[in-house]
Amino acid sequence: MAQAYRCPSCRHKFVPEQPPNDGRLQCPACRAQLKVPVRSPTPSAASRVQIAGYQVLRRIGQGATAVVYEAIAPNGDRVALKVLNKEASRDDEFRARFQREAKLAAQIIHPHIVAVSDCGEERGVLYLAMELMDGGSLEDEIERQRRIPWQQALAWIQQIAEALQAAGTRGIVHRDIKPANIMFTHDKRTAKLTDLGFGKQSDATSQWEQQLTMAGVSMGSPAYMPPEQVTDALTADARSDIYSLGATFYHAVTGKVPFGGKDVHQIMRDVLRVEPVPPRQHVPDLPAGVDACIRWMMQKDPARRPQHATQLLYELRALAERPQDARRFEKLMRSSRRVPAWLIIVGVILGLLAVAAAVVFALR
């Protein structure tokens, strides 16, 4: 079966007429160039019954650099086993991103972050064992429903904001928030954030980290990137993730990406210079408060967005109770707002309690 690809610029999904033999593809819709590793016809380790002691049951996903299997772990648990393919395993950059994903994910135990239980390398093949999420992704839901009812979208966005709050206590910035990286449990009541391959920690300043970050700008998802990440991904912080979460919220409730252009360069120019069409112009019956909240999260100036996930959570909870109240967000957008110290302290305490509760639950 031919491999399908999704353009990170215009989100068009396509199957190339010929498999890539030079590591590059061109999107037929917007003509953007995609960098992909060259793959052999059979993914590395695909023919093995076991990978590092994990019994492979079936393939459940495949991307440009990795294959994901449903597998049975040595302890009998069913897991998602992510395996870097043969060609990507030879690329130092892809290997480093894969290993960084495992390192960062292992630092956070939270109900709304996909848990990583194991990682390693066997015969040159890198693997990552993760919590099995069998409810699909937000991207799948948008494709299925075309647009998500705002009440449901708000509930999921609030859960991912809780994940960002937990990541913030560790100084971790995700840098690739998008619908494809938000996964669901089978009943779709619980949303979880995944894929920390582009993530960074605030104290990571090595030369290799900077090289990975610069590569991440060209390989990321421009439609969800904040302006500061387009120009210099090293400057991305918690407010950058909030912007991307706002862009994801926008896409969920409207069924449209905030910025679409004929090529990746136009999208990036628009991200830097053009205000997105207000969500209510796409969906007239969207509550005014929801529209205003999304625009607040997507302010081009980071100082005019929520400054922390804690502040965002506070406002999202208020929004759920008063979805028509746009004035509070309009006021926040007119000027930067300093987050009260007590609110930050309360948020940190709540985040630590959530992590502790998750640890206790995992040990049972």
Q: What is the pLDDT of residues 124-138, one digit of tens each?
A: 889 999 999 999 999
User: What is the number of residues in the chain?
Assistant: 364
Show the tokens assigned to 271. Answer: 């991200």
- Taking only the tens place, the pLDDT of each residue in 17-60 is 666 655 667 777 666 667 665 443 344 444 446 899 999 999 98
Provide the pLDDT for residue 219. 44
What pLDDT band is residue 12 in, cutting at 50, 70 and 90? confident
Q: Which domains does the chain have, with CATH numbers?
A: 50-131 (3.30.200.20), 138-356 (1.10.510.10)
The pLDDT assigned to 348 comes to 54
Looking at mean pLDDT, say which of 34-38, 62-66, 85-89, 163-167 comes out highest. 163-167
pLDDT, residue 312, reads: 97
Average pLDDT rounded to a whole number, residues 312-336: 92
Is 176 among the catalytic positions?
A: yes
Supply 86's token pair. 């043969």
Residues 6+ apart with CB under 8 A from 303: 336
Bridge partners (DSSP) listed for residue 173: 200
| Mean pLDDT, rounded, for 64-85 | 93
Is the pLDDT confidence value at 277 over 80? yes
User: Which two three-digit tokens encode residue 196?
Assistant: 């920390």
Range 289-308 average pLDDT:
96
The pLDDT > 90 percentage for the chain reads: 55
| Angle, CA of 53, 59 and 61, to the nearest 5° | 120
HSE-CB for 271 with a 13 A CA cutoff: 26
Q: What is the distance between the alpha carbons of residues 314 and 237, in angstroms, rounded to a whole number? A: 19
Pick the more confident residue, 68 or 347.
68
Residues sharing a CB contact under 8 Å with residue 308, sequence separation 6 or more, in sequence order: 165, 168, 238, 339, 344, 347
Q: Which residues pair with 88 in a beta bridge?
A: none
Q: What percent of the chain has pLDDT over 70?
A: 77
Note the pTM of the prediction, 2 decimals. 0.78
Q: Across residues 197-208, what is the average pLDDT? A: 67
Q: Which residues contact 123 (CB under 8 A, 6 or more apart)?
A: none
| Local confidence band at 294 (pLDDT 50, 70, 90 cut-offs) | very high
Mean pLDDT of 112-120: 94
pLDDT of residue 41: 38
* CA dihedral for 214, 216, 222, 224, sign (positive or negative): negative
Comparison of pLDDT for 127 and 359, the residue scoring more: 127
Catalytic pick among 118, 176, 237, 263? 176
Examine the pLDDT at 268 and tell me if it is beyond 70.
Answer: yes
Backbone phi, psi, residue 321, to 5°: -85, -30
Q: Which DSSP category does 124 fall into?
A: T
In Å, what is the CA distance from 235 to each residue of 110, 204, 244?
26, 12, 14
Identify the CA nearest to 316 among candidates 160, 166, 170.
Answer: 160
Cβ atoms 231, 268 nearer than 8 A:
no
pLDDT at 72 over 60: yes
Mean of the per-residue pLDDT values of the chain: 83
Please report the pLDDT score of residue 261 as a whole number: 78
- What pLDDT is recorded for position 97? 85
Residue 277 DSSP symbol: P
Amino acid identity at 66 = A
Closest CA to 162 of 231, 112, 212, 198: 112
pLDDT at 324: 96
